[in-house]
Structure 1
Amino acid sequence: MKNYDFLIVGGGAAGFAAALKANELGVKTLMANRGPIGGTCVNVGCVPTKYLLTALELKRRALFSPYLGLGFSMDEFDFAKLVEGKDKLVETLRKEKYEDVLQSLEHVDYVEGSARFVSENTVEVNGARIGFKKALIATGSRARVLPLKGLEEVRDRVLTHVEALSLKDPPDSVVVIGGRTQALEFAQIFARAGSRVVLLQRSLRIMPDAEPELAIELEDILSEEVEIHTEALPEGLKRGENGVLVEATVGGRKRTFEAEYLFFATGRVPNTENLGLENLGVKTDERGFIVVDRTMKAGENVYAAGDVVGEPMLETVTAREGFIATTNALEGRGIGMDYSVVPKVVFTDPQLASVGLTDREASKARRCLCNTVEFSSVPKARILGEERGLMKMVVDDETERILGVHILAHNAAEIIHEATMIVRNNMALDEVIETLHVFPTMSEAIKLAALSFKGDVSKMPCCAM
């Protein structure tokens, strides 16, 4: 039986962060992985979806020019070729960022196969038993499909993000169930590819955890492309003449929606079945996610990281968890994972980005002030013809420390990084105001938001201070 000092189960972001750290320490390591190397993000997550969203945003901008005297036409739109380009990029990044990286790690071996723990120091992979001293479980998650009545009858018409990214032609119509990040991104992908899209969200508004002003504004904008129904509860599915019938209660009324496909964006399920966790003394919560402490420890000699431990399921968070878990497992440093300053983005057009505390969260512990600035007040937004959107800043009333920044705007994903550094470094309003910003830029909105606490920005000239 082969023996290793460190075992990594999973080959996604958390697993690779762990492998890099273990290799740096010269620890004899085995990575056992089932499925495409690189995990969700590069294969069926961030990379392919943002490729399609970006391309389809260009399509829309070509058809709707904001500039007088400048019109565009679109000579070609071939969705199958677009998907081909997406697949090529995925293959390239998977090879360069994962397969080639793995080959360069001299202390890390790799095996393709399903792993099952048979004892606290033994794992079985492809029928072979392997010994280990410490282990990291980073097996990720998969899409959750609601067990609605009639589901099996229409299985061939059901999509998750995995199947949706394999379509060569856009559907004629899609019903999207969900109203958070994945639901909104795919709803816009489908709509801009030419599908008729209906979105059903059970809560009062889409993105229910986001700042209400921004979520409502985003819903108004997306409603130009997608038919959105909130307070909608799907109850059953039936085979339709050309697809699937979705029976739902919407605002207390019974409704039926028909579409070629049904897309589920209803959360994630951890990949923990058949791992033999009971043989490790590792506990899971009621949803099946592995329970860890602040150091990512799950058992006596076992750590866990990434989607398999639950929210927030973000690529950068996952990688950081993998690094911290491995550092603690192999060096015993006891570092804790900090989730207080995690930037989050919905890559719709416009994008919704946030970092730090919301108005509601901040108000629970202190008296806070909040101001909202419209992007129509930002000269660069007017130049780009991208005036839609808002920025909301949450500030401690006593210290004027900036506690949270929330952005709905074109390219908000790029702007949020400055806000992240502001929140992480406990900066106050005056420190932001006194920092020179380039004019004209979209990120100048952060300075304008800070200035809004000192005066009326609508009555300030460009480059006010």
Structure 2
Amino acid sequence: MKEYDFVIIGGGAAGFAAALKADELDVKTLMVNRGPIGGTCVNVGCVPTKYLLTALELKKRALMGHYSGLSFTLKEFDFRKLLDGKDELVKKLRREKYEKVLESLENVDYIDGSARFSSNSEIVVNGEKIKFKKALIATGAKPRILTIGGVEDVKDRILTHIEALELEKVPDSVVIIGGRTQALEFAQIFARAGSEATLLQRSMRIMPTAEPELAIELEDILSEEGTNINTSARIKRLERAGEGVRVHAEVGGKEKMFEAQYVFFATGRSPNTHDLGLENTDVKTDEKGFVVVDETLKAGKNIYAAGDVIGEPMLETVAAKEGFTAATNALEEKNVKIDYRIVPKVVFTDPQLVSVGLTDREAQKFTECSCSAVEISNVPKALILGEERGLIKMVVDAKTKEILGVHILAYNAAEMIPEAALIIRNRMTIDEVIDTLHVFPTMSEAIKLAALSFKGDISKMPCCAL
């Protein structure tokens, strides 16, 4: 029987970060992975969706022609060629960032297959028993489809992000169930590619946990682009409608019916814990099946877990951080904890909705806070780019002036949020941000302008005032 010091189940961001740490420590390690190596992000998540969003954003900008006196030309839009480009990029990154990395690890073996725990010290992989001293569960999660009436009758008309990325052509129409990150990104993808996109969101507004001002403005922008957004919607049942699907819902207390070629479920994710044999270990799961861990990511006596399989926040960067931390704690017997206070979150729509730290509502639960919102049209670089939509909101401790949260709706806002994360990590005050020189003209000046807005009316300040 083969024996390893460390077994990693899963080949995504969390698993690879753990493998790098194990290799660094010269620990005899086995990685077991089922399906395409690299996990969700590179194969059917961040990389392909952002490729499509970026391409469709460029299409939009070319058609709009932001700069007076210049004309833009655009070749005939070919969705199939766009998907081919997406496939090539995924293939390249999977090879360069995962397969080659794995080949370079001297202490890590790899098996393509399914692993199942038979005890706290043994797994079975493809029928072979393997002993281990420590293990990491990093099996990720999969799309969750609501168990509502009629789902079984329209299986061939149902999309998740996985099937949507494999379409041969743009759907004529699609109904998207959900109103958070994935739902909004795909709504814009479909709408800009030429589909009739309808979105049904259960809450009173899209992105219900985001700052209301930003979420409402993003909803207006997406609606203006053509997405039919319906909030306070409760899905009642689905039924076949010829070659499409009919969605029966209650919207704002009224019965409504929507027809489309497909229905897209963006209704959360379920953990890949089925058939792992966790009942043969001391690892526990919650009511939704996610692995329960402590602050050090420990799930059992000698078993750790990281990434989407332990629940929110389900982000690649978080998964990698958790995988590395879990491996550190498991192999070096440490008790490192992750500061989730400074996790940046991004919705890659155009404009992008980003945030880090506390919202106004969250901050008010434990301290007196003050907030200020500045329209992006006050940022000179936004005027240069012709991207004036959006705003930035800063949440500040009223007494200490420490910045507790930064929330931005703006073009390319994802490139701005790391500065805000560092500000919050280092517990900086508005005065310290004001005293920090920023480059002019840049979009990141919005952060300094937001800090300055606590001092006075920024519309009455010249460029580079301080």
Sort the TM-score into its range (normalised by shorter chain). over 0.9
Distance 1:137 1:331 in 2: 18
Which residue in the other structure is 2:375 paired with? 374
Structure 1 counterpart SS, 2:441: coil
Match of 1:413 in 2: 414
Deviation digits for residues 420-456 of structure 1 (CA, Å, limit 9, x no counterpart): 1101100001111011111111100100000000000
Alignment of 1:383-422 (within 5 A): 383-422=384-423
2:84 counterpart residue number: 84
- What's the counterpart of residue 145 of structure 2? 145
Counterpart mapping for 1:185-334 below 5 A: 185-224=185-224, 225-334=226-335
Unaligned runs of 5+ residues in structure 2 are: none
> Does residue 457 of the first structure (1) align with residue 458 of the second (2)?
yes
Q: Shift of residue 37 of structure 1?
A: 0.3
SS in 1 for 2:68: coil
CA–CA distance in structure 1, aligned partners of residues 74 and 62 of structure 2: 7
- Count of residues in correspondence between the two structures: 465
Contact 1:242 1:259 in 2 (8 A): no
Looking at structure 2, the residues matched to 66 and 96 of structure 1 have their Cα atoms a distance apart, in angstroms, of 36
Query: Is residue 161 from structure 1 mapped to residue 155 from structure 2 by the alignment?
Result: no
Q: Provide the TM-score with structure 1 as the length reference.
A: 0.99
CA deviation profile, 1:203-234 (whole Å, cap 9, x unmatched): 00000000000000000000012000000111
| Aligned-pair identity (%) | 72
CA contact (8 A) 1:272 1:288 kept: yes
> Which one-letter code corresponds to 2:292 in the other structure?
V
C-alpha distance in 2 between matches for 1:463 and 1:330: 50
- Measured against aligned partners, the alpha-carbon deviations of 1:225-247 in whole angstroms (never above 9, x if no partner) come to 20000001111001002300000
Q: Deviations over 1:140-197 (max 9, x none)?
A: 0000000110111110000000000001201000000000000000000011110000
Worse overlay, 67-76 or 256-265: 67-76
Q: Is this contact kept in 2: 1:32–1:110, CA < 8 A?
A: yes
Give the AA of the match of 2:424: V
- SS of the equivalent of 1:95 reads helix
What's the CA shift string for 1:377-400, capped at 9, x where partnerless? 111101100000000000001110
User: Are 1:296 and 1:337, in contact at CA under 8 Å, matched by a contact in 2?
Assistant: no
How is 1:48-67 mapped onto 2 (pairs within 5 angstroms)?
Answer: 48-67=48-67
Q: CA deviation at 1:281?
A: 1.0
Q: 1:105 and 2:105 equivalent?
A: yes
TM-score by length of structure 2 reads: 0.99
Distance in 2 (CA, whole Å) between partners of 1:320 and 1:421 is 16
More deviation, 304-313/432-441: 432-441
What is the rounded CA distance, in whole Å, between the counterparts of 1:54 and 1:135 in structure 2?
38
Deviation (angstroms), 1:71: 2.4
Hey, which bits of structure 1, 4+ residues long, moved more than 4 A?
Answer: none
What is the alpha-carbon distance in structure 2 between the residues aligned to residue 148 and residue 363 of structure 1?
38
1:15 paired with 2:11, answer: no
Moved more, 103-112 or 234-243: 234-243
Instruction: State how far apart, in whole Å, the 1-side matches of 2:30 and 2:75 are.
Output: 51
2:136 counterpart SS class: strand
- Deviations for 1:96-129, whole angstroms, at most 9, x for unmatched residues? 0000000000100000101000011110000000
Q: Which runs of 5+ in 1 are unaligned?
A: none
Following superposition, the deviation at residue 30 of structure 1 comes to 0.3
2:353 aligns with 352
1:310 deviates by: 0.2
Q: Which amino acid aligns with 2:421?
A: T
CA distance in 2, matches of 1:339, 1:417: 14
- Which moved further from structure 2: 61-70 or 79-88? 61-70
Q: Deviations over 1:288-321 (max 9, x none)?
A: 0000000000000000000000000000000000
Secondary structure at the counterpart of residue 342 of structure 2: coil
Cα offset, 1:248, TM superposition = 0.2
Structure 2 CA distance for aligned equivalents of residues 72 and 327 of structure 1: 52
In structure 1, C-alpha distance between the alignment counterparts of 2:334 and 2:190, rounded to whole Å: 47
Task: Give RMSD over aligned pairs.
Answer: 0.6
SS at match of 1:35: coil
Shift of 1:333: 1.0
The Cα shift of 1:68 comes to: 1.6
Letter aligned with residue 160 of structure 2: T
Amino acid of the residue matched to residue 291 of structure 1?
A: V
Letter in 2 for 1:214: L
Q: Distance in 1 between the 2:206 and 2:454 partners?
A: 28
SS in 2 for 1:132: strand
